[in-house]
Amino acid sequence: MGDFGSFYLRHRKELFHYLLRMTGDAALSEDLLQESFTRFLDRYGREDPTLPLLFTIARNALFDHWRKRRPLPSGDWSGETGGENPEEGVIVREEARAVLRALGTLPEDERDLLSLAVTGGLSYREIAAVSGLSEGNIKVRIHRARRKLRDLLREE
């Protein structure tokens, strides 16, 4: 499969877990995973793929989806797998559901930045490039998100 094939195999897991942390919905994350790589190929071809560009495209795909679907029901963040039949799709780990639920209650921008940081592979500088924020802003917001998450998980 060449460079892009290796890139796809190496990073689809990180991207899928970023999307799962952002949406809490495995079926939607799978659709967005496919959409992200497809958009990448359509717009940039297979030469020299980069992780920040992939995440930029994935975030745009996710925000496009949300713009069409807004408003999200506030209590819909169960961390359950998507689809009618969980046996047919990706199963969200039982122990991860509390974390996903807590992430789902964070403000969207903080959930986004923290998910980008913990999903792996992106430095603060790259997250700044992906999000359009300054590195200084990234540091503050990521730490604020971690502290909020700790408080939320304590309440579980």
Partner 1 sequence: MKEEWISQFIDDELTLDEKIAFVGTVHEDGPFREECLDLLRQEKRLREPPSRDVPMPALSPRPRRSLLSFRPLQWALVLLVAGVALVLARNLSPPAKEANVPYRFVVYQPGADRVEIAGTFTGWDRVSLKRSGNSGYWEIVLSLPPVEHRYSYVIDGERTMSDPTVPGRERDDFGGENSIIPPGGMA
Residues that bind partner 1 (CB under 8 A): 1-6, 8-10, 12-13, 16-17, 20-21, 26, 30, 33-34, 37-38, 41-42, 45-46, 79, 81, 90-93, 95-96, 99-100, 114, 117-118, 120, 123-124, 139-140, 142-143, 146-147, 149-150, 153
Three-state secondary structure call for residue 114: helix
Please state, in angstroms and rounded to a whole number, the distance separating the CA atoms of residues 36 and 58.
5
Please state, in angstroms and rounded to a whole number, the distance separating the CA atoms of residues 17 and 14.
5
Residue 16 or residue 55: which is nearer to partner 1 going by CB? 16
CB of 156 to partner 1, least distance (A): 11
Residue 66 or residue 143: which is nearer to partner 1 going by CB? 143
Contact 96, 83 (CB under 8 A): no
CB of 128 to partner 1, least distance (A): 11
Residue 6 or residue 50: which is nearer to partner 1 going by CB? 6
CB of 75 to partner 1, least distance (A): 20
- Nearest Cα neighbor of 150 from 109, 98, 112, 113 is 98
Please state, in angstroms and rounded to a whole number, the distance separating the CA atoms of residues 29 and 140.
27
CB of 151 to partner 1, least distance (A): 10
Residue 51 or residue 142: which is nearer to partner 1 going by CB? 142
The encoded tokens of residue 111 equal 């959930």
CB of 31 to partner 1, least distance (A): 8
Residue 39 or residue 71: which is nearer to partner 1 going by CB? 39
Handedness of CA 80, 148, 152, 150 (dihedral sign): positive
